[in-house]
Amino acid sequence: MTSNPDHYAVVFENDRVRVLEYRDAPGDRTTPHAHPDSVMYTLSAFRRRLVSGERQREVELAAGTVGWLPAQEHHGENIGDTPTHVLFVELKEGGGAGEPTLGPAD
């Protein structure tokens, strides 16, 4: 991840998905960045303000929330009292071919 490297870390990547871990502290802000279609899994409870152009939205999510995040560009700010800790599973175009793998694959 080239945008906001102090907050995002790639924890797994292959030709189908990229898994990012996101962490921040109360008051932290991100610069504008983009996400492809993703699945989000919250590891902590948090409050954030998300801004995209003229639109903004405040969200409060509990730990253990799983949700679909459609492709979007935004920047955000932790407006709560707790750190944010989230995993994003970003989907890539295309699919696998050939013999299916049994069990976890690299």
The string of DSSP codes covering 57-75 is: EEEEE-TT-EEEE-SEEEE
How many domains does the chain contain in total?
Answer: 1
**102 falls within a domain:** no
**85 falls within a domain:** yes
pLDDT in tens, 87-98: 999 999 865 555
**72 falls within a domain:** yes
Q: Output the six-digit token pair for 10.
A: 């790639």
What per-residue string of b and e applies to 36-70 under the rule 16 or more CB within 10 Å gives b? eebebbbbebbbbbeeeeeeeeeeebeeeeeeeee
**105 falls within a domain:** no
Which amino acid is present at 23? Answer: R
**104 falls within a domain:** no
**19 falls within a domain:** yes
CATH no. for residue 79? Answer: 2.60.120.10
**1 falls within a domain:** no
pLDDT in tens, 6-42: 899 999 999 999 999 999 999 999 999 999 999 999 9
- Residue whose structure tokens are 């295309």: 94
**36 falls within a domain:** yes
